[in-house]
Amino acid sequence: MRKFKLQVQVGIDGYMAGPNGEMDWMTVPWSDDLNAHVDALTRSVDCIVLGRRLAEGFIPAWAAGPEGEDQASIDFMNNTPKVVVSDSLAESPWENATVAGGDLAETVRKLKAQPGGDIITYGGSTLVSNLIAGKLLDELHLFVNPTALGSGLPVFPDTGAHHGFRLVDARPFDCGIVALHYEPRRS
């Protein structure tokens, strides 16, 4: 069965975006060793899952070929099929993307049951919180930036329940970012 992975950048205080979704705090240029790590992480991926709000900026930004990004990353982001989780969109306005609404757990089960490689999500915050609360992720890859936001959108939802994780790997990179790879503890 396909694995469902989360890759998200966070500040050292656990926020993935500022209070209004700001991402201007991500100013650390990635080093070659971090780029190689991400290449290895995404090598098995053939599907990207995004929340609607993130998709609205993410898909057009990658389609424009962002400055400073290598062509292999641009090609991966543009050529990999995407599923946009949304109850407000009836159909996708983007190429190479479909819309999935309704029950999130059922959507994830259907995606994981399909043949193919692994699935990755980059967020946004509502989708990530719902995936964590629903215990729908197989791997969490937190890229901890050397920045404290002070407040904002947390990676982990306040559900009143504990979520147990097992550390698989912790790796610092030359640019100062630390990648933490966790797997959920299943009971």
CATH number where 39 lies: 3.40.430.10
Q: Is the pLDDT of residue 157 over 90?
A: no
Query: Model-level pTM?
Result: 0.94
Asked if the structure places residue 145 within a domain, the reply is yes
User: Residue 81 to residues 61, 120, 157: CA-CA distances in angstroms?
Assistant: 16, 11, 28
Mention every residue, 6+ apart, whose C-beta is less than 8 A from residue 109: none
What digits encode the pLDDT tens for the residues 1-41? 899 999 999 999 999 999 998 889 998 899 999 999 999 99
Asked if the structure places residue 184 within a domain, the reply is no
Q: What pLDDT does residue 187 have?
A: 67
Asked if the structure places residue 179 within a domain, the reply is no
Q: What pLDDT does residue 162 have?
A: 81
Please give the residue range of the domain that contains residue 73: 4-23+33-155
Q: Specify the number of domains making up the chain.
A: 1
